[in-house]
Amino acid sequence: MEWETVIGLEVHVQLSTQSKLFSGSATRFGAEPNTQANIFDLALPGTLPVLNKDAVKMAVRFGLAIDAEIGRRSVFDRKNYFYPDLPKGYQVSQLDFPTVGKGELTFTMDDGTEKTVGITRAHMEEDAGKSLHEDFQGMTGIDLNRAGTPLLEIVSEPDLRSAKEAVAYLKKLHSIIRYLDISDAIMAQGSMRCDANVSIRPKGETEFGTRTEIKNINSFRFVERAINYEVQRQQDVIEDGGRIVQETRLYDADRDETRSMRSKEVANDYRYFPEPDLLPIVIDEDFIEAIRADLPELPDEKKQRFMAEFKLGEYDAGVLVSSRELAEYFEAVVKISGDAKLASNWVTGELQALLNKNNWEVSESPVQAERLGTLIARIKDETISGKIAKTVFEAMLDSEAGVDEIIEEKGLKQVTDTGAIESLVDDVIDNNPEQVQQFKEGKEQVLGYLVGQAMKLSQGKANPGQVNQLLREKMK
Partner 1 sequence: MALSKAEVEQIAHLARLQLSDADIDDVTNRVSDILKLIDQMQSVDTDDVEPLAHPHDAVQRLRADEVTETNNRDALQELAPESQDGLYLVPKVIE
Partner 2 sequence: MIEKTVAELSAALAAGDISSQELTQAYLDRIAQFNDELNAYITVCADSALAQAKAADAARADGNSSALLGIPMAHKDIFCTDGVLTTCASKILNNFVAPYNATVVERFNAAGAVMLGKTNMDEFAMGSSNETSHYGPVKNPWDTERVPGGSSGGSAAAVAADLCAMATGTDTGGSIRQPASFCGITGFKPTYGRISRWGMIAFASSLDQAGPLCKSAEDAALMMNAMAGLDEKDSTSIDMEVPDFTATLGDSLQGLRIGVPRQHFAEGLSADVEEAIQASLKEYEKLGATLVDIDLPNNHLSVSAYYVVAPAEASANLSRFDGVRYGYRCENPVDLEDMYKRSRSEGFGDEVKRRIMVGTYALSAGFYDAYYRKAQKIRRLIKNDFNNAFKEVDVIAGPTSPHTAFKLGAKSDPVAMYLEDIYTIAVNLAGLPGMSIPTGIVNGLPVGMHLVGQDFAEAKLLNVAHQFQLATDWHRRKAPLTSKEA
**Contact set with partner 1 (CB under 8 A):** 17-19, 23-26, 32-39, 42, 50-56, 80, 82-84, 131-133, 136, 138-144, 250, 261, 263, 266, 269, 271, 274, 276, 278-282
Q: CA 161, CA 156: separation in Å to the nearest integer?
A: 12
Residue 349 partner contact from partner 1, partner 2, none using kind-dependent CB cut-offs of 5 to 8 Å: none
Residue 288 partner contact from partner 2, partner 1, none using kind-dependent CB cut-offs of 5 to 8 Å: none
Residue 143 partner contact from partner 1, partner 2, none using kind-dependent CB cut-offs of 5 to 8 Å: partner 1
Residue closer to partner 2 by CB (options 49, 98) is 49
Residue closer to partner 2 by CB (options 45, 442) is 45
Q: Which of 287, 284, 291, 278 is nearest to 93 (CA)?
A: 278
Q: CA 258, CA 190: separation in Å to the nearest integer?
A: 19
Residue 88 partner contact from partner 1, partner 2, none using kind-dependent CB cut-offs of 5 to 8 Å: partner 2
Q: CA 54, CA 17: separation in Å to the nearest integer?
A: 7
HSE-up (13 A, CA, CB side) for residue 117: 28
Residue 272 partner contact from partner 1, partner 2, none using kind-dependent CB cut-offs of 5 to 8 Å: partner 2
Least distance between partner 1 and beta carbon 181 (Å): 14
Least distance between partner 1 and beta carbon 77 (Å): 10
**Polymer length of the chain:** 476
Least distance between partner 1 and beta carbon 231 (Å): 24
Characterise 366 by phi-psi region: left (phi > 0), alpha (psi -120 to 50), beta (else).
Answer: alpha
Least distance between partner 2 and beta carbon 82 (Å): 6
Q: CA 451, CA 204: separation in Å to the nearest integer?
A: 64
Residue closer to partner 1 by CB (options 214, 424) is 214
Residue 46 partner contact from partner 1, partner 2, none using kind-dependent CB cut-offs of 5 to 8 Å: partner 2
- 47-53: list long-range contacts, CB under 8 Å, 24+ apart: 48/277, 49/21, 49/22, 49/23, 49/92, 49/275, 49/277, 49/278, 50/22, 50/23, 51/21, 51/22, 51/278, 51/281, 52/17, 52/19, 52/20, 52/21, 52/22, 52/150
Residue closer to partner 2 by CB (options 74, 218) is 74
Residue closer to partner 1 by CB (options 50, 295) is 50
Residue 183 partner contact from partner 2, partner 1, none using kind-dependent CB cut-offs of 5 to 8 Å: none
Q: CA 320, CA 327: separation in Å to the nearest integer?
A: 5
Q: Is 382 helix (H, G, I), strand (E, B) or coil?
A: coil
Least distance between partner 2 and beta carbon 59 (Å): 17
CA geometry: angle 224, 327, 343, nearest 5 deg:
115
Q: Which of 154, 161, 153, 69 is nearest to 115 (CA)?
A: 161
Binding site residues, partner 2, CB under 8 A = 39, 42-51, 78, 80, 82, 84, 87-90, 140, 142, 269, 271-273, 276-279
Bridge partners of 215? Answer: 250
Least distance between partner 2 and beta carbon 39 (Å): 6
Residue 78 partner contact from partner 2, partner 1, none using kind-dependent CB cut-offs of 5 to 8 Å: partner 2
Residue closer to partner 1 by CB (options 32, 114) is 32
Least distance between partner 2 and beta carbon 270 (Å): 8
CA geometry: angle 175, 180, 182, nearest 5 deg:
100
Residue closer to partner 2 by CB (options 95, 109) is 95
CA geometry: angle 58, 60, 63, nearest 5 deg:
115
Least distance between partner 1 and beta carbon 100 (Å): 16
Least distance between partner 2 and beta carbon 277 (Å): 5
Q: CA 393, CA 374: separation in Å to the nearest integer?
A: 11
